[in-house]
Chains A and B, each alone.
Chain A
Amino acid sequence: MFLRFDNITHHYAESGTVLKIPHLEIEKGSFVALIGPSGCGKSTLLRLVAGLETPGKGTLTFGNGSANKGPLRTGIVFQEATLLPWLRVEDNIALPLRIRGTKAGPRREAAREEAARVGLEQAVHLYPDQLSGGMKMRTALARALVEAPELLLLDEPFSALDEITRDRLNEDLSALHAARTRTTLLVTHSVTEAAFLADRILVLKTAPGEIVADIAHPRPHPRDPETRNEEGFHQLTAGLSRLLREHAGE
């Protein structure tokens, strides 16, 4: 067990979301997707895990035994790339190391290695305003991975990108997960993205936000574009869409 929710009830004042999770366990190294309609609390759940919110009631326990507190190393990618506009790509990627006090030389080396892993080796000297949307998200992903985090949190990271770029980034993310397995939580609106990436899919409903389905989808990473043409994939996405329709507006 890597992450456990016990009797969590959380009221998110800004959006009025109420999230209820009586019990949930997430295994180490699993890729879990959270899917559900807007306002179901899936991003709130991610914020709780990231330590950006403290649960109103209940406990959140990590593998290292810390309750209601994030694990030591967490990488996060938000819906927006949140790159610092005054830093070059390599310095944006190296930001977590800079905060940790790593010296400039090793910091730069690690950032360049991570940039190469996400296909940005030619762009390390560019500023964010010189990057395309896809390159910005790749930079944000590299920044989240540069410290080799135990936990990777992805909050609708590719939702603002076009379909082709999004598919390509999903394939790269699957390859990265295969190369260095780490526990990953992905919040997404897209059933195809969830079905393509996740080993386990949690479907949430609104008012209150609760998990209504927990679907295992074990299939080895990396997953290639052909995965999307398989019969099993179509059945899974159709099933997920049906579940979302059934619970929409409840």
Chain B
Amino acid sequence: MRKDLPIRSLLWPAISAAAVLAAWHLAVLIYSLPGYLLPLPHAIVQAAVERRSDLLTGFAVTGGAALTGLLLSALAGFVLATLLAWSRGLRLSLFPYVLLLQTVPVVILTPLLVIWIGPGFPSVTAITFLITFFPVVSNTVHGMLSAPRPMLDLMRTLQADRRQEMFLLRVPHALPHYFSGLRIAATLAPIGAIAGEFFAGSGSGGSGGLGYLVIVYFSRHETDALFATGLLACLMGILFHSAVVLFRRLLHSYSRLV
């Protein structure tokens, strides 16, 4: 199969983006929409340039909390998944609560976290962790439990003990699933951090994260700046996702584990 060149794979998304921007521009002009309702695309760029200092600080603050929460999920998620796959009793006892935790709305969890561990960075990181934790655990447990039957039969024939079956077969078999979970978690991390900042204050002390900037720009009806903040949040998600993909590719070049 012929592989598309990078330039070719970027061409179609670029064409569709240009078409959307042109339609957007025309709609604003034709219907004379005011800037606070729908700003022109170039006004968003202008707003981003004017507020670059605040936005970059916000990006760094939110990014720090999001990355910390994501790394905690990556680590704790893997350890918990291994324990859940190891012990059926533990899985039956704990997995429903891991799922339950995922279903509790952030707006309910946030005040509790603020009371328990304080506002700002700790709460924002904890919320990011809680939002990104489930896909990592769920995917990894599934990977560990779905090792193919013939391979399990092989391990039994070779008289492998439980620990060997786990670490020679189930864990390596689960690594691609773990990375799939991490990719989902990577796109959720900025969402978690921004939602956390929305309810639990800024990511770090006096400096405002993107969530804090959303509140500020919203109160001032600065829609163009709100769009710019949203674009930065998207960019963060893409960066995190790309970092996971890149890390996986690097690992793949050394081994076939992922």
Contact = CB atoms under 8 A, between A and B. Distances in A.
Given A96-B158, A99-B164, 19 more contacts: A51-B156, A51-B157, A70-B157, A74-B157, A76-B154, A78-B150, A78-B153, A78-B154, A79-B150, A82-B148, A82-B151, A82-B154, A84-B151, A84-B169, A86-B172, A86-B255, A95-B158, A99-B159, A99-B168
Contacts of B151: 82, 84
Contacts of A80: 150
Interface string B167-196: 011001001000000000000000000000
Contacts of A84: 151, 168-169, 172
A129 B158 CA distance: 23
B8 interface: no
Interface in A34-54: 47, 50-52
A127 interface: yes
B150 A98 contact: no
List the 3 closest pairs (A to B, CB-CB), nearest first: A86-B256, A86-B257, A82-B150
A94 to B, nearest CB: 11
A114 to B, nearest CB: 15
A119 interface: no
Interface of B: 148, 150-151, 153-160, 164, 168-169, 172, 175, 255-257
25 contacts: A47-B153, A50-B153, A50-B157, A74-B157, A76-B153, A76-B154, A76-B157, A78-B150, A82-B148, A82-B151, A82-B153, A82-B154, A84-B151, A84-B169, A84-B172, A85-B256, A86-B255, A87-B256, A95-B168, A96-B158, A99-B158, A99-B164, A99-B168, A127-B256, A129-B256
Main secondary structure of the interface of B (DSSP, over half): helix
Interface in A141-180: 153
Nearest to A72: B159
Nearest to A73: B159
Nearest to B256: A86
A80 to B, nearest CB: 6
Scoring B150, B158, B255 by chain A CB atoms within 10 A of each residue's CB, the highest score goes to: B158
Contacts of A129: 256
A79 to B, nearest CB: 8
Interface string A88-112: 0000000110110000000000000
Contacts of B154: 76, 78, 82
Contacts of A128: 256
A150 to B, nearest CB: 13
Nearest to B258: A86
B252 to A, nearest CB: 10
A86 B257 CA distance: 5
Contacts of A82: 148, 150-151, 153-154
A127 B258 CA distance: 13
Scoring B153, B155, B175 by chain A CB atoms within 10 A of each residue's CB, the highest score goes to: B153
A153 B157 CA distance: 10
Interface string A49-79: 0111000000000000000001000101011
A56 to B, nearest CB: 19
Contacts of A74: 157
Nearest to A85: B256
